[in-house]
Amino acid sequence: MPYIRVETNVALSKSEATDLAVLLSKDVSELTGKPIKYVSGSVLQDIALVFGGTSDPCAQVYLGCIGVLGKEKNVEISARIATRLNEALKVPSDRYYIYFCEQERHEVGWNGATFAK
């Protein structure tokens, strides 16, 4: 059930945003060991967003996941996200935060129930 969401003030075409969402979803699947069929991702681009008081290119990232996240894993994921955002958005790694949110099975709904069932 991992979910990755990137918000950025960088303008992208719909195709570029979709391609980045797909790449990040595959990265999250690989790094968490969760099947890609349960990973969702979104890229919200060209939004009003500031970091450090300026509107220079920046982003914010949210990653929610059941299990897996933790001290060492978050460092690994952070490094991969930094590479992707630098390549796709040209946003330096000191111009965004990544929020890692460990979720409990009962906190995520899917298919008319929760993962706790």
Given 2, 35, 57, 92, the catalytic residue: 2
Is there a catalytic annotation at residue 2? yes
In angstroms, the Cα distances linking 89 to 45, 77, 114 are 10, 17, 35
Q: Which residues are catalytic?
A: 2
